[in-house]
Amino acid sequence: MNELNELQGRVASLERHIGHLRLAVGVVCTVAALAVLGAWRGDPEDVIRARQFIVEDEEGRARMLIGRQSDFGGQRPPSIGMAINDTLGYERFGMGLRPNGRMSMGFDAPLGKGDDRNRERINIIADEDGGAEIRFLDRETFVKGRLSLTPDNRLVLSFLDFPPNEVRRRLIGFEQDTVVVERR
């Protein structure tokens, strides 16, 4: 019964996170729609063309970048999209479309709130094969949970744990719950 309560708590936590993600996506979509509508209403001679658009704060720091996004030293493929930086210049939100068709959004933790080699905590992905995934990473950059659309169009909730020398996955779907243990 304790395991059921723990699972219900985890699912409730994921539901809260998804609610926050929906709000963030709504804000991003609203801003994008307003920008498109503003451009559409304008005189065709008012069109501004640029390879990159950078919004700076009053201190001259780049806070929002729209256009080609960096590959961060080879850590990820380059993409076209948008990034929002904090006051220290570190990306906190990124959205990009890669050449292969993968669209992704990443929400990052502040610097110093975990393993700074990868501060990403939540990813939302619409992949190049028509699949989808929401991925949750912990402060040590381990993937702790996924909500995934499988290749056969099933929705699966996955919880991951990493005890010494193994990887444990609990998969929850309509058909059955499964625990998978693999040696590392």
Look at strands 178-183 and 79-85 and give their pairing. Answer: unpaired
What pLDDT, in 10s, does the model give residues 73-97? 556 677 888 989 999 988 899 999 9
Are 64 and 9 in a shared domain? no
Return the pLDDT at 73: 53
* Residue 48 falls inside a structural domain: no
Domain count within the chain: 2
83 touches 71 (CB < 8 A):
no
Which two three-digit tokens encode residue 136? 């949750």
Are 141 and 165 in a shared domain? yes
Q: Return all residues near 8 (Cβ < 8 A) that are at least 6 apart.
A: none
Are 61 and 92 in a shared domain? yes
Give the residue from 114, 167, 163 showing the smallest Cα distance to 137.
114
SS3 content of the chain, % helix, strand, coil (to 5): 25, 40, 35
The residue segments making up the domain with residue 18 are 1-43
pLDDT band at 72 (very low <50, low <70, confident <90, very high): low
Interatomic CA distance for residues 103 and 79, integer angstroms: 9
89 touches 62 (CB < 8 A):
yes
Are 12 and 87 in a shared domain? no
Tell me what the mean pLDDT of segment 11-19 comes to.
80
Claim: this prediction has a pTM higher than 0.85: no
118 touches 140 (CB < 8 A):
no
Return the pLDDT at 39: 61
What pLDDT, in 10s, does the model give residues 132-165? 999 999 999 899 999 999 888 989 999 999 889 9
Are 108 and 147 in a shared domain? yes
Return the pLDDT at 179: 86
Are 67 and 21 in a shared domain? no
132 touches 148 (CB < 8 A):
yes
Are 175 and 95 in a shared domain? yes
* Residue 19 falls inside a structural domain: yes
